Amino acid sequence: MPLLKVEGLGKLYDGETKVLRDVNFEVEAGEFLSIIGPSGAGKSTLLRCINRMVEISEGKVIFDDLDVGEMRKKELRKLRTNIGMIFQHYNLVPRLTVIENVLHGRFGYKSTLQGVFARFTEEEKERAFFLLDKLGIAEHAYKRCDQLSGGQQQRVGICRALIQEPKLILCDEPIASLDPNSSKVIMDYLKQISTEMGITCLVNLHQVDVAKEYADRIIGLKKGEIVFDGPSKLLYEDQIENIYGIETRELITV
């Protein structure tokens, strides 16, 4: 049984233009999957339909045998605890400490009062330190997040997602704001998470070569439609040209 099943997914923001149209794919538990495509292809929208940060217009998203589109408020919160999310701009609360930001990942499991008064258990705090240590930033635990570099902040973002104990992690261009070195560090950690912890990863990427290097499988999105879906090693030059359009490829290589 696949962990995630997307069936005939369509999305309209304004009732006219279809940002996604008839998107179908399945993801098995433990897969490391990358979604590539030009700007505006609908990659971010696709990810946000999976944890319903945006409403689904057509079709179905089935996660862990549950229909995401049908969920009500409480079930939706439960779903989101099972799906971690990582962002291009990290989206941490800059004035809070690293450890506080990591523990934000536990709010999905808390009642309103527990969360408001930040009642975290000792195990949760220990787990937070364990994860920070795993990502090599335990020494910064009590620093304010705005004092960290971009790469370090992204690692805090990963810790925040991991402490949710998710089955799936959605990454929306996790390395688009980072230099090549930090990018490699982040991608290595993501890969490590998926192989060691068996967490499924869906990663939006702009860099085709990075996608080919890290992902088991690649989905190519173009104008809201899937134009490629297959193992990374089968993504050849002509398919890349098809996804991005020949003109843009030439622009980059020249």
Partner 1 sequence: METSQAMNQALMKRKRNGQINIKSGNKIDSAVKWTIWVLTVLTVISFFFFDYTGLQLERAITETAHNLRVMFLEPGLSHFGWGEAFYQVGITLGLGVLATVFGAIIALFLSLMAAENLSKPWLSKTIRIIVAFIRAVPTVLWVLIFAIAAGLGSEAAVLGMLFHSVAYLVKAFSEAIEEVNPGIIEALRATGSSWWHIVVHGVLPSTFTYLLSWTFLRFEINFSVAVAMGAAAGAGGIGFELFMASGFYFDLREVGFITYAILIIAIVLEVISTRLKNRYFPSSVKA
Ligand X SMILES: Nc1ncnc2c1ncn2[C@@H]1O[C@H](COP(=O)(O)OP(=O)(O)OP(=O)(O)O)[C@@H](O)[C@H]1O
- Sign of the four-CA dihedral 102, 108, 109, 112: positive
Residue from 23, 33, 36, 44 in contact with Mg ion (CB under 5 A)? 44
Residue from 40, 94, 231, 245 in contact with ligand X (CB under 6 A)? 40
**Ranges of H-type helices in the chain:** 43-50, 73-81, 98-103, 112-116, 122-134, 150-162, 180-196, 208-214, 237-244, 246-253
| Token pair 């570099």 in the structure block, residue | 149
71 CB contacts (<8 Å, ≥6 apart)? 52, 79
Nearest approach, Cβ of residue 186 and ligand X (Å)? 17
Number of amino acids touching ligand X (CB under 6 A): 11
Residue from 3, 27, 33, 41 in contact with ligand X (CB under 6 A)? 41
82: tokens are 């099972």
| Token pair 């104990």 in the structure block, residue | 165
| Token pair 């999105």 in the structure block, residue | 221
Nearest approach, Cβ of residue 9 and Mg ion (Å)? 16
CA distance 52 to 245: 30
254: tokens are 């020249």
Region binding Mg ion by CB under 5 A among candidate stretches 41-49, 74-82, 106-114, 195-203: 41-49
Residue from 5, 11, 43, 80 in contact with partner 1 (CB under 8 A)? 80
Long-range contacts of 144-148 (CB under 8 A, 24+ apart): 144/94, 144/95, 144/96, 144/97, 144/98, 145/92, 145/93, 145/94, 145/95, 145/96, 145/97, 145/98, 145/101, 146/94, 146/95, 148/98
Of residues 86, 249, 89, the one with CA closest to residue 177: 89
Q: Is 87 in the site for partner 1 (CB under 8 A)?
A: yes
Number of amino acids touching Mg ion (CB under 5 A): 1
Pick what 61 binds: partner 1, ligand X, Mg ion, none; C-beta below 5 to 8 Å, kind-dependent: none
Residues 5-24 that bind ligand X (CB under 6 A): 13-14, 19
CA distance 7 to 49: 12
Q: Is 181 in the site for ligand X (CB under 6 A)?
A: no
Smaller CB separation from Mg ion, 44 or 152: 44
Residues 157-196 that bind partner 1 (CB under 8 A): 157, 160-161, 164
Q: Is 43 in the site for ligand X (CB under 6 A)?
A: yes
Q: Is 119 in the site for partner 1 (CB under 8 A)?
A: no
Nearest approach, Cβ of residue 94 and partner 1 (Å)? 7
Under the rule (CB under 8 A), what is the footprint of partner 1? 51, 53, 76-81, 83-85, 87, 89-96, 100, 104-110, 112, 115-116, 118, 157, 160-161, 164
Under the rule (CB under 6 A), what is the footprint of ligand X? 13-14, 19, 37, 39-45
